Amino acid sequence: MRRVLVTGANGFIGSHLVEALEASGADVTTVDCRRPRFDDPLVPGVGRQVHLDLLHDDLDDVVAGCEVVFHLAARPGVRGSWGNTFGDYLATNVHATQRLLEVCRRRDVRRLVFASSSSVYGDAIGPSCEDDECRPMSPYGVTKLAAEQLCLSYARREDSPLSVVALRYFTVYGPRQRPDMAFSRMLFAAFTGLPLTLFGDGTQRREFTYVSDVVAATMAAADADARDEVINVGGGASVSMIEAIDLASQVVGRPIPLNAVAGMPGDVPATRADLALARELLGYTPSVDLHEGLSRQAAWMRDLPNERLVAFTR
């Protein structure tokens, strides 16, 4: 049993990752400064669950003895990153990451897997490749790119035992997805009949990736043959928002009323992932298509008690 650490363990992707790591037999320590949004328990028997703040608390004890650190803790969201909140994004996504990297280097961690984002690419033309120029269109994307580069710089130190794989996730969805994200809002509108706010004209395209595929790629990254690598993790297909809304309506069996408004700053016209490097280094091929993944997310939402659905109205 190798010992691993997961930061952001109570989050959407983090909670799924912890479950899979536990099932694989890893000795898991989880770190988060927040409670799970839906109060879903992680997994019975998780080795250690530690409540601490990566930005302020001492990290040596939780990192000591870990072979792999999965760093998923972050402040998410493109639209919320403008204005006075930017300091929070900078502190959480960049400064906290640098503090964790220092401890990983000092404690001889072998591999750090960093959860990056397709937002680092910005307004891309065609499938985004890891070697493409990154031109993020939001402060959030800027902080994720900065944190990604910080991780790589620590791996490139001659005296560092640490290797890094940064995974650029493309729009992850599935059970426990944040209420403010697209599929959560679509499904909630379908279930309730309340209007869905559509930003822009609906022609913008996104590559959606089911959470179990993201978890599989993240776990594979722990043992990939790499020193300082960036790898895309996508769902294998890019669809328009109108197509996604139609599919969500089909899955639930109800129409989704729309309230169209202007597009938001930082929203890119399209995302699409080149997955050649993921296939080569991670053996990764997405296995859950959009219809199946949306059906699973809808089934999870359908089973939520009414008091938990309040989160989707905020």
pLDDT of residue 304: 86
Q: Is the pLDDT of residue 41 over 80?
A: no
Q: Is the pLDDT of residue 13 over 70?
A: yes
Rounded to a whole number of angstroms, the distance between the first and last alpha carbons of the chain is 41
pLDDT bucket at 43, cuts 50 / 70 / 90: very low
Task: For the chain, give the number of residues.
Answer: 314
CATH class of 173-206+237-270+288-313: alpha beta
Q: Is the dihedral of CA 154, 29, 166, 36 positive or negative?
A: negative
- The residue ranking higher by pLDDT, 208 or 46, is 208
Catalytic residues: 140
Q: Is the dihedral of CA 270, 280, 176, 113 positive or negative?
A: negative
Cα–Cα distance measured from residue 147 to residue 93, given in angstroms and rounded to the nearest whole number: 6
pLDDT tens readout for residues 231-269: 999 999 999 999 999 999 999 999 999 998 988 888 899
Q: Is the pLDDT of residue 96 over 50?
A: yes
In the chain, where the domains are located: 3-170+211-233, 173-206+237-270+288-313
Beta-bridged to residue 169, according to DSSP, are 117, 233
pLDDT of residue 39: 52
Average pLDDT, the chain: 93
- Domain 3-170+211-233 sits in CATH at 3.40.50.720
For the record, the structure tokens of 13 come out as 């992707």
Q: How far is CA 129 from CA 225, 275, 286, in A?
A: 19, 8, 17
Close Cβ partners of 70 (under 8 Å, ≥ 6 residues apart): 4, 5, 6, 7, 14, 17, 21, 112, 113, 115, 218, 222
For the record, the structure tokens of 306 come out as 């009414």
pLDDT of residue 131: 96
Phi-psi region of 3 (alpha: psi -120 to 50; beta: other; left: phi over 0): beta
pLDDT tens readout for residues 201-236: 999 999 999 999 999 999 999 999 999 999 999 999
| Helices within 67-192 (DSSP H only) | 86-90, 96-106, 139-155, 182-192
Cα–Cα distance measured from residue 156 to residue 264, given in angstroms and rounded to the nearest whole number: 37
pLDDT of residue 59: 97
pLDDT tens readout for residues 139-189: 999 999 999 999 999 999 999 999 999 999 999 999 999 998 999 999 999
Q: Is the pLDDT of residue 42 over 50?
A: no
